């Protein structure tokens, strides 16, 4: 099965229409592929590319969004904030968050080939090696750092840069298909790195070494060498891969449910996935395809549990409570639970003198000029980093003067994955950010800094609102339900306030005297760390916290169905012919940015499948 057309929109070309009277699992007449991969996002692109390397294996990749090639803005590194709430964003939101003043928080996710990796901030990070040892302890045998690292390196094609000496080539891959390297940064970035050092966080040359990311550094990013995003879609679905006759890529098509065999004699005890049902509109024509070998679900942390639940895999009490109820195929209590996300204090805006940041691009003429420059030459600020660097620290690091005269002793349990792993990230953006959809202030220059709890205890769930894939599910991350998370974020905010008052930032930051106007966009950025109280910071966080867009674990790997949704081979517990591969299977949260790990995981799974594991 294949086509000369690269990305197919009409299911008649690759699936079989459902006609009246057709039995649900009558697969005999359906178009068939060895592997049906649902979700052409980060993991889906990698798997489709690797599994179709064998010309004798047929692969179908089904994506709900459009081809990335048709979405111009996805190519421009600095343009990703413009993609949020656009047609390439699923634009999910949380339920009202009880511990964040009942606010509803946005959760963007990519709806386009490449998925969220096509709309994200392009940061490439291994996270902390100890994160993976923690995974193994939680039951993910085979997913230690030692076992996953070769696949991180396999994926990467790193371009060294003379501006970034001190990087060991052995810490990066050079023969992979995914291009990484360094981009231009706003002038303020280097100053902030030095300021971090002044507040007790050393500068390190590379976040991606065997020592882990503790320290302050510039991010490696994924770029095509011509100033554009090199998403996994671009890296893995090259024109020659897309042209393979054994690979079919379908776009603008929703997978509604997985279909199970009714003839398999063991199906009551262990159902077998035999294909999927798809459609393009809520009440329109439906089509089906058969998976000769496996269905692999790669829909991400929200849509993967949604699809499993819609297919009857989940807690039967939840499935039967829906209207109309969904028949339980396998009672799997953990599907959709254990949703963890990094929580950020909310934008800590600090004014800066002009000339150090990218705020000038908000003026129409400057922005347009930068876009034209990028379109002609792939250079200039639009090719630069939106989040050039970060500091990864521990809340118990005694070298850091977290506390101020007005602070109280905060009790913080160690939730990190190990002594060398961080539990706080300080991430800076070289522009003032007022919030989703809020226009930037005119004539103001500055930075927006996030203080993130990297190993939150709070976890939540994804649940169905209705029995239709066209209705967004209910997402309740339960943010800040643990006081420990809030205290960790408070410590992160205190670090930022100290950083703002370093010698290094004098004359660069334009701090105003401490005042208590909590309605200002520059509260508490201007606040004096010796005058602000923990209660004031906590109130700010509850009012302003935002998800850091790194959710994981809603179908996590575990030894048993009582503790997770998939086994270490990524097969859904107790179901044949069905695996999951995306950030939903992470056994728990990472202490860093997850996209490189999703890619490595898909690389590893492709090898496992080829070896018959
Ligand atoms: C704004 C933002 C910035 C970020 N920045 C970074 C960063 O700089 N670095 C980093 O490491 N991480 C970053 N992340 C997180 C990272 O990009 C994601 O964790 C990662 O890409 C998730 O990959 P995935 O394969 O799990 O899911 P996705 O890449 O989201 O793939 C899921 C795919 O499934 C498709 N799909 C869903 N439902 C269906 C259906 N029913 N039928 C068919 N297709 C379906 C979706 O359209 C999507 O293409 C960011 C996230 C966001 C939102």
The per-residue pLDDT for range 39-81, each reduced to its tens digit, is 999 999 999 999 999 999 999 999 999 999 999 999 999 999 9
pLDDT score recorded for residue 1? 44
43 Cα–ligand 1 center, Å: 9
Where does the pLDDT of residue 25 fall: very low under 50, low under 70, confident under 90, or very high at 90 and above? low
- Of 213, 229, 209, the residue nearest 122 (C-alpha): 229
CA distance linking residue 32 with residue 293, whole number of Å = 10
For ligand 1, the distance from its centroid to the CA atom of residue 115, given in whole angstroms, is 5
Tens digit of pLDDT for each residue in 470-504? 999 999 999 999 999 999 999 999 999 999 999 99
- Please report, rounded to a whole number, the percentage of residues in the chain having pLDDT higher than 90: 92
Across 4-18, 164-178, 382-396, least confident range? 4-18
Question: pLDDT-derived band of residue 329, with 50, 70 and 90 as boundaries?
Answer: very high
What does the CA dihedral 593, 599, 600, 601 come to, rounded to 10 degrees?
A: 100
- Dist. CA 601–CA 12, nearest whole Å: 32
pLDDT at 5: 62
Report the C-alpha gap between 525 and 53 in whole angstroms. Answer: 52
Regarding the beta carbon of 582 and ligand 1, being less than 6 Å apart is answered yes
112 is in an annotated binding site: yes
In the predicted model, is pLDDT for residue 190 greater than 60?
Answer: yes
Q: How confident is the model at residue 269 (pLDDT cuts 50, 70, 90)?
A: confident
Q: Per-residue b/e over 302-334, b at no fewer than 16 CB within 10 Å? A: bbbbbbbbbbbbbbbebbeebeeebebbbebbb
Nearest atom, ligand 1, residue 255 CA: 42
The pLDDT, as a whole number, for residue 346 is 96
Q: How confident is the model at residue 3 (pLDDT cuts 50, 70, 90)?
A: very low
Q: What's the rounded mean pLDDT across residues 417-442?
A: 91
Beta carbons of 400 and 393 less than 8 angstroms apart? yes
Confidence check: pLDDT of 535 > 70: yes
Helix (H) or strand (E) holding 46: helix 42-51
Q: Which atom of ligand 1 is nearest to the CA of 81?
A: 1
- What is the rounded (10 degree) CA torsion for 548, 46, 220, 189? -40
Q: How far apart are CA 261 and CA 96, in angstroms?
A: 39
**Above 60 in pLDDT, residue 366?**
yes
| Side-chain-side CA neighbours of residue 111 (13 Å) | 18
Answer whether 217 contacts ligand 1 (Cβ < 6 A).
no
Helices 129-137/145-155 angle, 10° precision: 130
Residue 224 has pLDDT above 90, yes or no: yes
pLDDT of 2 strictly over 50 = no
| Cis, peptide link before residue 349, omega less than 30° from 0 | no
CB atoms within 10 A of CB 408: 10
| Domains of the chain with bracketed CATH | 7-70+233-340+554-610 (3.50.50.60), 184-222+343-455+480-544 (3.30.560.10)
What pLDDT digit, counting tens, does each position of 74-115 carry? 999 999 999 999 999 999 999 999 999 999 999 999 999 999
Q: How many CA atoms lie within 13 A of 244 on its CB side?
A: 23
Which residues participate in catalysis according to the annotation? 550, 593
Do residues 389 and 428 lie in contact, with contact meaning Cβ atoms separated by under 8 Å? yes
Residue nearest to atom 2 of ligand 1 (CA): 120
The tokens for 326 are 């969904």
Place of tokens 């967004």: 472
Residue 338 CB less than 6 A away from ligand 1: no
Q: Residue 354: its pLDDT value, please?
A: 95
The CB of 600 under 6 Å from ligand 1? The reply is no
For the chain, give the mean pLDDT. 95
In sequence order, the 6+-apart residues with CB closer than 8 A to the CB of 267 are 260, 261
pTM of the predicted structure, to 2 decimals: 0.97
Q: What is the pLDDT of residue 4?
A: 42
Q: Give the ipTM of the model, two decimals please.
A: 0.99
Strands, DSSP E only, in 311-408?
313-314, 330-331, 343-344, 348-351, 389-393
- Asked whether residue 262 carries a pLDDT value surpassing 90, the answer given is no
Dist CA 128 CA 208 (whole Å): 8
CB within 8 Å of 555: residues ≥ 6 apart: 304, 305, 308, 334, 335, 336, 564, 565, 566, 572, 580, 584, 585
Mean pLDDT for the stretch of residues 521-537: 95
């Amino acid at each position: 099965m294949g086509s000369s057309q690269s990305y197919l929109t009409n299911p008649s070309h690759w699936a079989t229409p459902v006609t009246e009277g057709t039995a649900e699992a009558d697969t005999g007449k359906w178009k068939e592929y060895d592997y049906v991969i649902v979700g052409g996002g980060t993991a889906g692109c990698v798997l489709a590319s690797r599994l179709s390397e064998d010309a004798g294996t047929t692969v179908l990749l089904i994506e709900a969004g459009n081809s990335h090639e048709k979405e111009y803005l996805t190519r421009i590194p600095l343009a990703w904030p413009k993609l949020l709430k656009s047609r390439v964003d699923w634009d999910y939101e949380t339920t009202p968050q009880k511990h964040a003043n009942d606010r509803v928080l946005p959760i963007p996710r990519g709806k386009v080939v490449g998925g969220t990796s096509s709309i994200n901030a392009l940061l490439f990070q291994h996270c902390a090696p100890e994160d993976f040892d923690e995974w193994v302890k939680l039951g993910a045998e085979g997913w230690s750092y030692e076992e996953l690292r070769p696949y991180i390196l396999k994926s990467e094609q790193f371009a060294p840069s003379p501006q970034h000496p001190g990087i060991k080539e052995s810490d990066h891959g050079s023969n992979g298909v995914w291009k990484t390297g360094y981009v231009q940064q706003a002038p303020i970035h280097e100053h902030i790195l030095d300021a971090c050092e002044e507040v007790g966080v050393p500068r390190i040359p590379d976040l991606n070494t065997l020592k882990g990311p503790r320290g302050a550094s510039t991010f490696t990013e994924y770029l095509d060498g011509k100033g554009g995003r090199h998403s996994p879609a671009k890296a893995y679905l090259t024109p020659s891969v897309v042209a393979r006759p054994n690979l079919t890529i379908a776009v603008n098509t929703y997978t509604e449910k997985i279909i199970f065999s009714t003839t398999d004699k063991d199906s009551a005890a262990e159902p077998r996935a035999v294909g999927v049902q798809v459609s393009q509109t809520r009440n329109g024509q439906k089509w089906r395809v058969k998976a000769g070998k496996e269905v692999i679900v790669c829909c991400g942390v929200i849509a993967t549990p949604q699809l499993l639940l819609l297919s009857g895999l989940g807690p039967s009490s939840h499935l039967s409570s829906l209207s109309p109820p969904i028949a339980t195929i396998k009672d799997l209590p953990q599907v959709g639970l254990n949703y963890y996300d990094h929580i950020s204090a909310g934008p800590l805006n600090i004014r800066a003198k002009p000339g150090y940041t990218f705020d000038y691009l908000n003026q129409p003429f400057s922005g347009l000029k930068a876009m034209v420059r990028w379109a002609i030459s792939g250079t200039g600020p639009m090719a630069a980093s939106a989040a050039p660097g970060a500091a990864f620290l521990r809340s118990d690091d005694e070298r850091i003067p977290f506390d101020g005269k007005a602070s109280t002793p905060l009790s913080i349990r160690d939730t990190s994955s190990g002594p060398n792993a961080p539990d706080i990230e300080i991430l800076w953006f070289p522009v003032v950010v007022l919030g989703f959809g809020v226009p930037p202030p005119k004539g103001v220059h500055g930075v927006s800094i996030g203080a993130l709890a990297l190993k939150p205890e709070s976890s939540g769930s994804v649940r169905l609102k209705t029995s239709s894939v066209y209705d967004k599910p209910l997402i309740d991350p339960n943010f800040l339900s643990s006081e420990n998370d809030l205290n960790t974020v408070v410590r992160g905010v205190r670090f930022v306030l100290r950083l703002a008052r370093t010698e290094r930032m004098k004359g660069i930051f334009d701090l105003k005297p401490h005042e208590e106007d909590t309605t200002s966009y520059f509260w508490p950025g201007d606040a004096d760390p010796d005058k602000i109280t923990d209660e004031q910071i906590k109130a700010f966080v509850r009012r302003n916290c935002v998800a850091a867009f790194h959710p994981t674990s809603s179908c996590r790997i575990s030894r048993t169905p009582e503790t997770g949704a998939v086994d270490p081979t990524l097969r859904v517990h107790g179901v044949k012919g069905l695996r999951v591969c995306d950030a939903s299977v992470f056994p728990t949260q990472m202490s860093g940015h997850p996209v490189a790990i999703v890619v490595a995981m898909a690389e590893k799974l492709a090898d496992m499948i080829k070896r018959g594991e």
